[in-house]
Each structure stands twice: as C-alpha cells, then as structure tokens.
Structure 1
Amino acid sequence: MAWQLAWRLFKRELAQGQLVLIVLAITLAVLSVSGLARVSERLQVAINGEAANFIAADRIINSPIEIDPSILTKATELGLEHVTNMEFNSMVYAGDNFQLVTIKAVGDKYPLKGAIELTQGETQALPAELEAWYENRLGGLLGYPQQIELGEVNFAMSEEISRLPDGGFNPFASSPVLLIRLADVAATGIIQPGSRVTYRYQFSGDAEVLAEFETAVKPMLNNSQRWVDVQSGDSPIASAVKRAERFLLLASLLGIALACAAIGIAAQRYCQRHYDVVAMLKTFGASGKQIRQIFAMHLLLVTALGVVLGLIGGFILDSVINGFLPAEIAAYSPPYLRPVLLGVTTGLISAFMFSAYPLLRLLSIPPLRVLQNQLEGIQAGMWLHLLLSLSAMALLGYLYSQSWPLTMTVVSAVLLLGALLSVLGFALIRLGHGVGMRTTNPLQLALAGLRRRARQNAVQLVGFSSALVLLLTILALRQDLLNEWQKQLPENAPNYFLVNIAPEDTQPLNQFLDSHQILATDIYPVIRGRLTHINGEELISREQEKNGVEGRVGISRELNLTYRETLPPNNDIVEGKWNQADDEVSVESEVAERLGLKLGDTLTYSLENQKVEVKVASFRQVQWETLQPNFFMIFRPKALQDFSYTSMASFHLDNAKLAAQGSELTANQVVLQLIQQFPTISVIDVGAMVEQLRQIIDQVSLSLSLVLALVLLASALVLIAQTEAGMATRQRELAVLRTFGGSGWLLRTATGFEFALLGAIAGLLAVIVAEFALYMLKTQVFELVVYMHWPWWGISPLAGAIVVATLGMWRCRQLLNQSCADLLKAG
C-alpha cells in the first residue's frame, strides 16, 4: 500500500513539475561530482604521466646495494614493467686525455617513460655491446676520440646524447654522463666489493597496481633505500604537480559543498510542498509508520531518478570536455568505477542526510493544518540539521580527497562562513526596518520586503554568498598558481648553465656574452664547505644518529656556498634582514627549519681546513624551479673571498633571438664557439627540460580552467535553487500587493531592487570571507604569497547585485506578468 501511494505521488508530482527542483539539484550534484571526479582524475593521471617522463618511470627505488629479489618478483607478478640500472663514477681515458665521468649502465627496457634525445633526434634504442653514448660536452673534453678506455675494456664512442629523460638537473654535478649497457659493466672490472654504486630500479604500470606494489614494497626497504616518484622532490616539477593536485582536490571539495548546499535548499522546499499532503493523510487515518514509509520510498524514487540522470550527465560532461583536451591528456583514461561510486554515494548521502531535518518537520505536521494553514509542526532541532549536514559534507569530502586536513579545512570554512553570514546578513537586513515601513516607491518597497523576510533572506544570503565565496576563492587560487608558474618559467627562462668558471675566465666570458648580446644572470662564485657546528655544538651525520650517537644532526655532505652584496633574484627574505655585517649569513628557510636554526645563531664552517664563524642574519624563501643559480647559504664577500673558488651562471639563448639580433649563427654554433674558447667551462643544456616543463605547466593551466568552469556550474545551481526556494512566499505577497493596487512597474522594479540588494550584500560578505579563506589556504596548504584583492571590494558587490537580480527577475518573470486573479488562484 505504501509503495503504491509513493509511486502514484511520484508520478503525479513528476508530471506536474513539482519535483523538478530537487531532481535537478540531485542530478547536477551527481553530475558535477561524477563528471568532476572523472575529469580531475584524468587530469591528475595525465599530469603525473607526463611528469613521469622526468624520471623515465612511474616509480623508482634508489639503493646503494642490490634490493631483495622478491621485490622484482612481486613487480613481475603484478604485471609491472621494470628495469635495473646502475650509476657510479669512474675515469675514462682517450690517449693522453682523461676525464671523471658518471657511468649510467642501463637495462634493456630503459627508458620506461620518455625517450633518449641524441643530437640526431629521439630514439628508443640503446648502445650496442661495448658501445658508449656520451654527453655532448664529454666529446669536447676528450677531443672527440673514436674509442675510450673504461676499466679493462675499450668502448666505441658512437652517439652524442643531448638529454636523458631522467638526467635530472644539478648544475654542481659537473661530471659528464656516459651511457652503456648494464651487461657490459662486469667486463670493465670496475665494480668491486665496497665500490660506491647507486642501483636504480625503475617501475611503470597502472596507477592502482603501482599503489598496491608501493604498499607491499615500502615496508621491505631499509633506511638507505629511497622510494621516488614525481612528487618526491627529485623531479623539477614536483612543486608544480603537488600544487596542481591540491587545487584539483580543493576545487572538487568545493564543488561537492556547493552541490550539497543546493540539495539542502531543494530538500527544504520539497518538504514544504508536502505539508498539506501529510496533514490530509493524517486526517484520513494514516499512521505515522505508513507516512514514514510513503515519503521514504517517495524520496528514494526521487533520489534514484536524480542519480541515474546525474551519472548519464557526468559521462556526457566527461566526453564533451575530453573532446577539447589535448591529445596527450585525452589519451589517459582512468577507471570509471570511482567516479560512478562517488556519484551514487553523493546522491544518496546528500539527499537523505540533508533531508533528515526537513523530513522530521514534515512528518510532525499536525492534522489541524487542514484547517489552519500556518501550522508547521516542530521548530526545534536545527542543531541536528547542522550536524547531519556537516557530517555528510565531511564524509563526502573525505571519500573524494582521502585527506582529512583538507576536508576539515573546507568543513571548518563552511561552518564559519555559515555562522558569519547568518549573523551579518540578518543584522544588515534589519537595518532597513525604519526605511521600509513606507512603500511609496520601488526602493522603499524592496526594503520592506527585505525586512518582512528577514529570516528567510538571511538564509538566502548564506546560499548566495557561499557560491560567491567559493567562486572568488577558486578564481584567486587559479590565477595565483598560474602567476607563480609563469614567474618561475618566463619566456626567457635560462636554458644553458655554465659551471666551473675559473676566476681568470670571468672577464673574458662576460665579453663573449656581451659580443653575442646574450643576457646572462650574475656570475656566482662557488666555494665548497662543510657546516660543522651550530652555537658551538658539533654536528653529527644521520649515519651516526642511526648508529646510536647522540647529538644535533647536521647536513651530511659538503655545501656549495656563495657570496654577494645584494639579495639575489627569486629570493625573498621571510625573517630577519639581509646580510649587513661581514660575519653574517643568509640561510634558505627550509634548510633553516630542518636544522632548527634561529636568527642570531652562530654557524661554524670548515673551508680548506680553516674555520669560518658567522651569525644567522636572515631566512630566505627560494624559488628553486626558476632554473637560475640558487644557494642554501649566502655570505658577505669579505667572509669568503680569500678562499679558492669557481663560478657559475645561466643564460637564455635560442635561434629566434639570434635571428632577431641579425646574427647568422644558430644557438648551437654560439655554444660551440663558447666551448672552444673556454674548454674548461662546462656548458649544461637544459633547454629540452625547460620546454617539457613548460608543456606540463600549460596542461596544468588548462586543468585549472576546466575545474573552474565546473565549479561555476555548481555555483549557478546553488543560486538557482536558492532563488527558487522563496517563490511560494513571494507569490502570495505579489497577490496581496496587486489586490491593494500595486502596479506592474512598481512590483517589477521593487522585486529587481530587492534581489539586487541581496546580491550586493552577498557580494560584500563574500569578499570578507573569501579574503579570510584565501589567507588560510595560501599559508596552510599552497604556500603562496598572501595579499589583499582590493578590486574585489568594488567588483564583487556589483557583480553579486547583477547576477542575483538577473536570476531573481528571470525566475519571477511569470509571477510578475500574471494578473491579480491568476495570482490568487495559484496561491
């Protein structure tokens, strides 16, 4: 019986259009969540997939010894591709010339991602047996021999390497690379017990399988073995990828919050529509159990319809957006299961948990409502509604992001936003009390309407402002991230590094660069030194700490130190002042945090068997992604200028720039001239890496734009749902005003003013809360520079007034055009 009544009620109300709002809210909630999940997962997989080219694999295990064979067996069982490589340093000889090189011995499947770039173009091949491919600068250092001697074997110098996919970027590592086959290492006789070797095991495969492999393998690694991926910090785009993924998660969480808000508003309107139905059913003798069953089944049918339509819409949305994506991103296809489950879960949880309190009020409607239409049942229990709503939002947020900190940040912001907007909105609307008593003109009538619906409008302000706050937050974060990346990689970003510049070559080098109109960075002196004491306390290494030695842990290697008078570009002082005295040093902020340094601490360095003591004057934030010379420690010139040093610099050079200057030389010819004139200077070409990095940043930028568009859709849904929620009350008021002689022009103008005032107040409140939210997100999550968005304080109220007034007038257009008799009949 209950099922039949629920089904008949569902069919009738669906045909009459009474369920349109809540079905639309659930549909768009599921659509935005499933579609957003699918799109954002595709973008995340694509970003990580493209970024994996920087490490030539999806995952890597670095180890000083051979790993447990069972790890490789596990990888094979899971269907992962894997390859074993070795890296070690050795001397190579060509006649009377010799050079220290980094030997990279690779297995047959290398590289798993990306390609080796030779001077003749990309290749997936590897050196033949007893054949060596060499980094281009090695040929110049050895005089381009036909053969070289490595250990006990001669290798043919066959191909010149422009770039290896996992070559990394370390301008201080001046040893050129020699690529050979792993099978040839044994014949050289170089590797003996105790030799310093890095084993690099690379893995590639499906993301889910890699996650399973990581869970199984990580506990098997010891302290000297490292698990590496594109976000581990070894990749030059680790920071960009991490920030992009945080943004995608945040945008998705905000999309879920907006969708839940729309469902909550629609659920309240859904229950209000059924007050009279419940009263009639109780009057005709229906028990409380029967009524609960009827409306539980009715809501289940509504939810099921919304979920099905939402999933279909999500797939269509994904297909449409995928058609606009670049081929390299569209080629990635993450599994459908998670977006579908998220969509279904979102629909069920949000529909029932956001409807719990309105349903409770609905089921408590007394039978007397048949005679007294103003009776509405229980009024208490709003705390339960807030608790269920926040619980639903937190649960959905965690299911999506798998991050409690990010989820609770959003939930806390929503809670704070609701409280502030409710209080401030109600207070601002009450200010119209005295002004709105007379209704002789449209503005006064609008203010009177705001006052009459003060409580309802305060709730509406929460919905309007929430949508605007989330839009402003996403818009600002997207722009700040793009600006940050563009700052790191401008069009003239350095694509060549010069290292090992001897002091006597500094002036001739500057003359060479000037003659070719090459704009280079400053030339930085580089001095090798070790930090030995902090405030007189001797530092220990991590190895000593592992062996039980007590003490303060320092940096277990020599540092590259520099000196200069002024603060370098791309460095910002975050605490203290730039070095003023000769015995002061500026320290990079992350290193300072790791060492537990404070301003005024005394640091002792060992340089060429001499001690140098300096005081910490400042901490700097360094943008390492700029591909310009950067240092952990920067001294004053007088502190280090008596020590021996080499220097380094970087510059940008391309064929288009040379042609614009009227030069007949290509970039490669200029670099070749530089190498011939300064044979002791090492030239490192990072142009290919810069270009690849720029392509990935472009893909990230596109992803941010797409996510912003999806959040815009969810925001529009909330605004429409919020406008729809007050239509019944507004219809009755228009009927009364028409009865008392209000003209159509007066009512239309007053309604427009009322919505515009609501939008303006919502816009103003949205700016206040958005500035606070951005401060928290930039300082706690994204590590971005905080600043005020002053133009918003004028633009946001104006935009809010226009948008809300437009939506309100569009929704009220039929009511405003109806006659008095039609309004009374409809009411």
Structure 2
Amino acid sequence: MEWQLAWRLFNRELKQGQLVLIILALMLAVLSVTGLARVSERLQVAINGQASKFIAADRIINSPQPLDEAILAESEELGLSLSRSLQFNSMVYAGDAFQLVTVRAVDDNYPLKGTVELSAPQPNKTPLHHQLWYESRLAGLLNHPPSVELGNSQLAMSAEILRLPDGGFNLFASSPVVLMRLDDVPATGVVQPGSRVTYLYQFAGDSSALEAFEEYAKPKLTSSQRWVDIQSGNSPVASAVKRAERFLLLASLLGIALACAAIGIAAQRYCQRHYDVVAMLKTFGASAKQIRWLFGMHLLLVTCVGVVLGLFGGFLLDMAITPALPAEIAAYDAPIWRPVLLGIATGFISALMFSAFPLLKLLSVPPLRVLQRQLESSSISNWLHPLLSLLAMAVLGWLYSRSLTLTLTVVASVVLLGLLLALMGYLLVSAGRSVGMKTSSPVALALAGLRRRARQNSVQLVGFSSALVLLLTILALRQDLLNEWQQQLPENAPNYFLVNIAPEEVAPLEAFIQSHRIEMTDVYPVIRGRLSAINGEEVITPEQQRQGERGRIGISRELNLTWRETLPPNNKIMSGHFNERANEVSVEAGVAERLGIGLSDKLTFIIDNQKVDVEVASIRAVQWETLQPNFFMIFSKEALAPFMYTSMASFHLEPEQAGVILDLIKQFPTVSIIDVGAMIVQLRGIVAQVSLALTLVLVMVVLASSLVMIAQTEAGMASRQKELAVLRTFGASGSLLRWSTTLEFAILGAVSGVLAVTVSEFALWILKTRVFELQVSAHFLWWWLAPLSGAILVACLGLWRCAGLLRKSCGDLLKLEV
C-alpha cells in the first residue's frame, strides 16, 4: 500500500513539475562527477601515455644485477610487453683515437614507447648484428671512422642518433651514447663477472596489468634495485604530469563539492514544500512508520531518476568532448567503471546525507500545522545538518581523490564559507530590519526583501558562492600552472649545451658566441667531489651500511660541484645567506633534509684526494624541472680555487643558424655539444596537452557552475511569486518591482563575490603550499572584479527568471499555482 502511494505521489509531482529542482540537482551532481571523472581520467591516461615516451616504457626496473626470472615471468603472465637492455661504460677505438662511451645494449623490443630518431631512416628499429648506432659528437671525436673496436669486436658505425626516447636530460653525462644489440655483448668480452653494469627492464601494457605487476614486483626488489615510472625523479615531465594529475583530481573534487551543495539546497526545498502534506497525513491518522516509508520510497525514486539522467548526461558530455580532442589524446580510452560507480555513489550518498536533516524535520512536523502553518519541527538539533553535510563531502572526496590534503582543503574551505555566510546573513538581516517594509525606493524594498527571505537568501548564497569559489580556484590554479610551465620552457629556452670547456677556452668561446650574435647563458665551473663527513662524523653509502659499516648515511656517488658569486636562476634561499665569505657552501633543500644538514653545519668534501672543509651558509629550494644546470652544492669561489675544473654553458640557436655548430666543432674540437632541441619540442608537446586538459576542465566547471546558479535562482521563485502578488495588490508599480528585484539579486551576487574571493584565497594558499608547490600571491584584482561580476551575473539571472512574473498582472499572479 505504501509503495503504491509513494509511486502515485512521485508520478503526480513529476507531472506537475514539482520535482524538477531536486531531480535537476541530483542530475547535475552525477553529471558533474561522471563527466569530470570520465574526461579527467581520459586526459590523465593520455598525458601519462604521451609522457611515458620519455622513458620509452610505462615502467622500468633498474638493477645492478640480473632480475629474478620469476618477476619477469609474472609480467608475461599479466600480458605486459618486456624489453631488456644493458648499460655500461667502455672505451671504443678507431686507429690511434679512442673515446669513453656509454653503451646501451638493447633487444629487438626496444623501445616499447617512442622511437629512436636517426639522421637517416633505417629499415630496422634497432641496430643489426655487428652494427653500432652513435651520437653525432662521437664521430667528430674519432675523426669519422667507418667502424670502431669495442673490446674484442669490430662494429660498423651505421647510423647517427639524433635522440633516444629515454635519453633523459643529464648535462654531466658527457660520454657519448652508442646503441648496439644485446646479443652482441658477449662477443666483445667487455662485460665480465664483477663488471659495473646496469640492467634495465622496461615494461608496457594496460593500467590494470601495470598496477597488478607493481603490487607483485615492488616488494620483491632489493634496496639496490629501483622502480621507475614517469613520475619518478625531478624531470620536467614528472613535475608537469604530477601537477596536471593533481589539478584534474582537484577539479573533480570541487565538482563533487558543488554538486553536494546543489543537492542539499534542493532537498531542503523539497522537504519544505511537503510540510503541509505530512501535517495532513498525521491529522488523518497515518502512523510515523507509514510516513517514513512513503517519503523514503519517494526520495529513492527521485534519486534513481536523477542518477540515471546524470549518468546519461555525463556520457553525452564525454561523447561531445572526445571528438574535439587531438587525435593523440582521443586515441586513449580510460576505464569506464570508475566514473560510473563514482557517479552512482555521489548521487545516493549525497541524497542520503544531505537529505537526512531536512527529511527528519519533515517527518517531525506537528499535525497542528494544518491550523497554524508557521509551525515547524523544533525537536531536531540544527548542528546535525552541517555535520552530516561535511561528513558526506569528506567521504565522497576521499573516495574520489584518495588524497587527505585535497579532501581536508575542500572541507576546510566549506567550513570557512559557512562561517562567513552566518556572519553575512546576520548583517543582511540587520540591514533589512532597519528599513522594515518600506517601499519608497527600490533600494529600500530590496533590503526589506533580503531581510524577509534571510534564510532563503543564505541558501542561495551557498550556491552562488560555491560556484564562484570553484571558478576562481580552478581559474587561478590553471593560470599559475601554465605560467610556470611557460617560464620553464620559454620560446628562447637554450637548446644547445656546451660541456667540458677548459678554463683557457672560456674567453675564446665567449668571443666566438658573441661574434655570431648569439646570447649565451651563465658559464658554470664544474668540479667532481665526494661528501665525506658531516660535523666531523664520517658518512657512508647505503651499500656500506648494508655491509655492516657504521657511520652517517651520505650520498652514494660523487657530486658535481660549482661555485657562484650570485644566486643562480630558479633557485631560492629558504634560510641563511648566499656565500658571503670564503669556505661557505649553499645546500639544496632536499639533500639537506635527507642528510639532516642545517645552517652552520660543517661539511667535509674529498676533491682530488684533498679534504675541503666548508660551513653551510644557506639552504636553497631548486626548480629541478627546468632545463637548466642545477647543483646540490654551490661553493664560494675561494673554497674551490685550488682545483682544476671544466665549465659548461648553454645558448639558444635558431634552426637557420645550424651552420654555427659546425664552425664551433672545428674551432673547439674538445668541447662537447649536447643538442636538447628535440627534447624541448617533446616537452612542449606534453605541456600543450596538459594545457588543453586544464582548459577543458575549466570549461566543464564553468558549465556546472552556471547550472548551479540557475538552479539556485529557481529555488526562490515560489515565495517571490507570492510577494509580488501582495505588492501588486497594494499598488506597487512594475518599474519599482523590476528595480528592487534586480538590486536584490545584485546584492546577493556582490556578497557572493566577496565570500568567494575570501574562501578562494584561503583554499589557494593551502593548495599552493601543500599540494602544487607554487608561489603564493594575492589576487588584488579579484576583490573588486569578483563582487562586480557576481552582482551583474546574478542580477541578470534573477531578472531573466523573474521576467515572466514581473510582466503578469495582480490577478494572474494570484491565480498561479505555487
């Protein structure tokens, strides 16, 4: 019986349009979450897929010894592609000339992602037997021989390498790279038991198989073996991908918060409209259990319709956006189940949690309300509603992002917005009380309306402010991310680096560069040294610790050291001062934290078998993702003056000036030239895709915010219709009503703008310092632009929605059914 009554109630109110608002809110919630999640995951998969070409695979295991075959067998069972390669240093000979090289011995599957770019096309993707592919500078160093000797083998120099997909960006790896077949290595006799070699195992496949393989393999790796993915390290790609993923997560999380606000508002409006219905049912003898069942089933039907429509809309949105994406992004397909499950969970959890308090108030309405309509439930504590709402938002945020920082940031922003709304509601009521019911001017009538609808206006402020907060936060983060990436990769970014510059060649080289009107960046001296002690305590490598030696853990390799009289670009002093006295050193913040180094600590380095004692003068933050030389330790010039050094520099060269490189090689044959132009092009391609992702998400957020604002305007139409009818009856003119309505909505919009700026600045401060590692800056322009834009936008929306009511006569208004 209750089920039939619930269905009849649902069917009747659906036909009458009384469920439009709550179904629209639920649909908007599910559509926003499903659509944002679907598009975000597609973009995320595409960005990671494109960025994985930087490591020529999806995942890599880097090992100093052969990997356990059981791990490799597991990768094959999961359907992953595998490429094995070997890396080691060796000498190659051509007649009397010889050169140290970095050998990459690869199998036929290499590379799993990307391609090896050669100066001339080859029919095969890797070298043939007894062939060597080489970097162009090797040929110049060996006087362009047709073949070279590597150990016991004679290998033909068959193709010149322009770029390896996983070549990376290491200016200090001055040895030229050569590529050969893995099965040709035994014949060279170079690799013997005890040789220092690196085994590289590269894997590629779908995301689920990679995740399963990671769960299996990672715990089985030793401390000397390293798991690598595109987000490992401090590469420019890793930083861009990490920040893009965080941005997409945040956008979807804010979409959830926006949807939750819309559902809460719609549920409250729904329950208010049924106070009289519940009072009448109780008067006619309906039991509390019957009423709970009736409205519980009614709400379930409404939720199901909203969820289904939202899922359908989310997929329509994805289908509409996908054709507009570039082919390299549209080619990727993201898993479909997660957006669907997330949309369903959002619909049902938010409908339950955000409707619980209004529904409890509805069910506790006294029967006497039939006679005294001002009566409402007073037995329900008002603190229950915000508590349930925050709990629902936190649960949904955690389910989606799995990030405690992002979830707490959104919840804290909502709490701040609630406190500001309470304060602003009090001020609005106070302002309205001073003018009472005066109708002498549009301003007085607008303020009186704000007072009369204080509770309803506070609800509308939630929607308007939430939409503006979402817009401002996403807009600011998107712009800051794009600005930072553009600063890292400007149009004139250096595309050639010069290394191994002897001291006597610095001045002639600078003169050569200036004669060709090329601007060269700073010249950095480079000296190799090892950190041996901190405050007199000897440091050891992690390998020495595993062998039982005692001491403080240090860095397991020699460091590239430099000196500077001024702070380098893309470095920021976090504490201390930059090398004002002799024997001072500036330490990078990450290394300082890992080794427990602080200001005034004494460090001992071994350079050319000599001890150098220095004092830590400053701790620096370094932007490792920039295509610039960066150093862990920067000394004063006096500290490193006794030691021999080489230098490095960089410059930007336009394509039409390529002939300068040949002249430079002839004049300075010992200087190594590294061309990173192809890498910059690839980096810019990935940043362009990330920028597109941010723009698309911003557009979706704008659309979702607009729908919430429209829904909020719709929520107050019933009471406004009654008020207009009364004012018309007492002779108010149409012009007075139009102006007062416009001003009332404009004041709401301006107040929403002020609240939005306050909350956005708070949220951005947390996000930039804790999540995105961006520089914090105030947005002073927002403090007048956001209230002005909010006033204009909300006033236009309100006037557009009220236009039909304002045109009606008093009689027509009274005849309309509320």
- Secondary structure of residue in 1 paired with 2:132: strand
Selected match of 1:736 from 692, 717, 726: 726
Structure-1 residue corresponding to 2:399: 399
Selected match of 1:716 from 700, 706, 711: 706
For 1:794, give the aligned amino acid.
W
Structure-2 residue corresponding to 1:375: 375
Deviation at 1:140, TM superposition (A): 0.8
1:820 aligns with 2:817: no
For 2:753, give the aligned amino acid.
G
Structure-2 residue corresponding to 1:661: none
Answer whether contact 1:115 1:122 (CA < 8 A) is retained.
no
- Give the distance between the partners of 1:606 and 1:350, measured in 2 at CA: 63
For 1:184, give the aligned amino acid.
D
1:51 aligns with 2:51: yes
- Give the distance between the partners of 1:103 and 1:76, measured in 2 at CA: 27
Answer whether contact 1:25 1:263 (CA < 8 A) is retained.
yes
Q: Figure out how many residues of one structure are paired with residues of the other and give that number.
A: 817
5 Å matches for 1:589-668? 589-655=589-655, 658=656, 666-667=657-658
Structure-2 residue corresponding to 1:706: 696
**How much identity, in percent, do the aligned residues show?**
69
Deviation at 1:736, TM superposition (A): 2.1
- Give the distance between the partners of 2:560 and 2:294, measured in 1 at CA: 75
Deviation at 1:111, TM superposition (A): 0.3
Answer whether contact 1:430 1:454 (CA < 8 A) is retained.
no
Range 406-415 or range 240-249, more displaced:
406-415
Structure-1 residue corresponding to 2:331: 331
Q: Give the 3 Å change call, closer, same or farther, for CA 123–615 of structure 1 in structure 2.
A: farther
Deviation at 1:493, TM superposition (A): 0.9
Structure-2 residue corresponding to 1:364: 364
5 Å matches for 1:750-765? 750-765=740-755
Deviation at 1:32, TM superposition (A): 1.1
Structure-2 residue corresponding to 1:184: 184
For 2:791, give the aligned amino acid.
A
1:354 aligns with 2:344: no
Answer whether contact 2:174 2:672 (CA < 8 A) is retained.
yes
- Secondary structure of residue in 2 paired with 1:433: helix
Answer whether contact 1:55 1:235 (CA < 8 A) is retained.
no
5 Å matches for 1:220-259? 220-233=220-233, 235-259=235-259
1:524 aligns with 2:524: yes
Deviation at 1:408, TM superposition (A): 2.3
Answer whether contact 1:86 1:199 (CA < 8 A) is retained.
yes
Deviation at 1:234, TM superposition (A): 6.1
5 Å matches for 1:466-485? 466-485=466-485
- Give the distance between the partners of 1:772 and 1:547, measured in 2 at CA: 50
1:167 aligns with 2:148: no
Selected match of 2:784 from 763, 783, 794: 794
TM-score by length of 2: 0.97
Structure-2 residue corresponding to 1:33: 33
1:684 aligns with 2:682: no
Range 289-298 or range 455-464, more displaced:
455-464
Answer whether contact 1:147 1:155 (CA < 8 A) is retained.
yes
Per-residue CA shift, 1:306-326, capped at 9, x if unaligned? 111111111110011111111
Structure-2 residue corresponding to 1:11: 11
- Give the distance between the partners of 1:25 and 1:123, measured in 2 at CA: 59
5 Å matches for 1:17-416? 17-121=17-121, 125-233=125-233, 235-378=235-378, 380-416=380-416
Answer whether contact 2:6 2:294 (CA < 8 A) is retained.
yes
- Give the distance between the partners of 1:472 and 1:429, measured in 2 at CA: 28
Structure-2 residue corresponding to 1:439: 439
For 1:697, give the aligned amino acid.
V
- Secondary structure of residue in 2 paired with 1:538: strand
For 2:664, give the aligned amino acid.
L
For 1:824, give the aligned amino acid.
L
- Secondary structure of residue in 1 paired with 2:90: strand
Per-residue CA shift, 1:16-61, capped at 9, x if unaligned? 1111111111111111111111100011101100000000000000
For 1:253, give the aligned amino acid.
L
Per-residue CA shift, 1:243-278, capped at 9, x if unaligned? 110011011100010011101111111111222222
1:779 aligns with 2:772: no
Deviation at 1:699, TM superposition (A): 0.5
- Secondary structure of residue in 2 paired with 1:528: strand
5 Å matches for 1:524-603? 524-603=524-603
- Give the distance between the partners of 1:276 and 1:428, measured in 2 at CA: 29
Structure-1 residue corresponding to 2:456: 456
For 2:309, give the aligned amino acid.
L
- Give the distance between the partners of 2:311 and 2:211, measured in 1 at CA: 27
Q: Give the 3 Å change call, closer, same or farther, for CA 550–411 of structure 1 in structure 2.
A: farther
Range 607-616 or range 707-716, more displaced:
607-616
Q: Give the 3 Å change call, closer, same or farther, for CA 782–576 of structure 1 in structure 2.
A: same
- Give the distance between the partners of 2:189 and 2:489, measured in 1 at CA: 44
For 1:216, give the aligned amino acid.
Y
- Secondary structure of residue in 2 paired with 1:203: strand
Per-residue CA shift, 1:416-458, capped at 9, x if unaligned? 3222332244335524532456331011111122222333323
Deviation at 1:823, TM superposition (A): 2.6
Answer whether contact 2:265 2:459 (CA < 8 A) is retained.
no
1:695 aligns with 2:692: no
Per-residue CA shift, 1:100-137, capped at 9, x if unaligned? 11110001100000000001258761111111111111
Structure 2 segments unaligned to the other structure (5+ residues): none
For 1:25, give the aligned amino acid.
A
Per-residue CA shift, 1:642-680, capped at 9, x if unaligned? 31000001111122xx4xxxxxxx41x221221122111
- Give the distance between the partners of 2:235 and 2:687, measured in 1 at CA: 14
Answer whether contact 2:234 2:625 (CA < 8 A) is retained.
no
Per-residue CA shift, 1:370-407, capped at 9, x if unaligned? 22222222453232222222222122112211223322
Per-residue CA shift, 1:323-361, capped at 9, x if unaligned? 111110000011211111111111111112211111111
RMSD: 1.7
Per-residue CA shift, 1:509-539, capped at 9, x if unaligned? 1122112222111111111112222222222
For 1:561, give the aligned amino acid.
L
Answer whether contact 1:228 1:234 (CA < 8 A) is retained.
no
Answer whether contact 1:259 1:717 (CA < 8 A) is retained.
no
Answer whether contact 1:528 1:558 (CA < 8 A) is retained.
yes
- Secondary structure of residue in 2 paired with 1:587: strand
